[in-house]
A = this chain, B = another copy of it.
Amino acid sequence: MPRQVAERADILPKLAEIFRKRGYEGASLSEIGAATGLGKGSLYHFFPGGKPEMAESVLAEVDAWFEGNIFAPLRAIPAGDAAEARARLAEMCRAVDAYFKSGRRVCLLGAFALADTRERHAARVRDYFRRWVEAVARALVVAGRAPADARTEAFDAVACIQGALVLARAADNPPAFAGALARLQARLTA
């Protein structure tokens, strides 16, 4: 194999960062080139499908991270182990706080859910949030909630996270996100 100066995997985080900062439509190829340090030739070498493929790849990577680090651990809680369920829900809050850098980072899928790219990535965004809510609901059932209550509480929990991100970003007040997460953790593990 010839040289491999840049890796697709190295580019994706930088791509994610610029899509977060500028949005899909707002991120121009020249900006992307500047942010990644890659010329258009390299960009189109790694992403022959152009900007749509870049965005899709970024979403897939973010989705995979959440699937592995957030959703799967919640789903894998042994039935009946309420204490473990509470522990993993608390761990979710910690991991979410870390991922979003305590409110300094925006949820790309949340932003794409609201903005112009809704149509384009609707299926992936829908699936991401569905799996998140279902994983939390599963954990809450193990923790002792009635299934119906667990579902609404899980919805409200994920909504709380997303809303706190919006408000923390709007107020430019990252600590507010951490505070909201702490209260959420208390509610979930009550």
Report which A residues bind B (CB closer than 8 A). Answer: 21-23, 25-27, 106-107, 109-111, 113-118, 122, 125-126, 128-130, 133, 152, 155-156, 158-167, 169-172, 176, 179-180, 183
Shortest Cβ distance from A159 into B: residue: B163
User: Judging by beta carbons under 8 Å apart, are B158 and A167 in contact?
Assistant: yes
Decide if A169 touches B116 in the complex (CB within 8 Å). no
- Residues in B neighbouring A160, C-beta threshold 8 A: 156, 159-160, 163
Secondary structure class of chain A's binding surface, majority of residues: helix
Copy total for this chain: 2
Contact A159 B166 (CB under 8 A): yes
Return chain B residues, CB-CB under 8 Å to A167.
113, 129, 133, 155, 158-159, 162
* Subset of 28 A-B contacts with CB under 8 Å: A22-B116, A23-B23, A23-B115, A25-B116, A106-B114, A111-B115, A113-B169, A126-B171, A128-B170, A129-B167, A129-B170, A129-B171, A130-B171, A152-B180, A155-B167, A155-B176, A156-B160, A156-B180, A156-B183, A158-B163, A159-B160, A159-B163, A159-B164, A159-B167, A160-B160, A162-B162, A162-B163, A162-B167
Most buried by B among A114, A128, A169: A114
Name which of A110, A161, A162, A166 has the most chain B CB atoms within 10 A of its CB.
Answer: A166
Whole-angstrom CA separation of A176 from B115 in the bound complex? 19
**Which residues on the B side are within 8 Å of A116 (C-beta)?**
21-23, 25-27
Q: Which residue of B lies closest to A115 (CB)?
A: B23
Bound-state Cα–Cα, A128 to B176, Å: 16
**Chain B residues within 8 Å of A126, by CB:** 170-172
The residue in chain B whose Cβ has the minimal distance to the Cβ of A158 is: B167
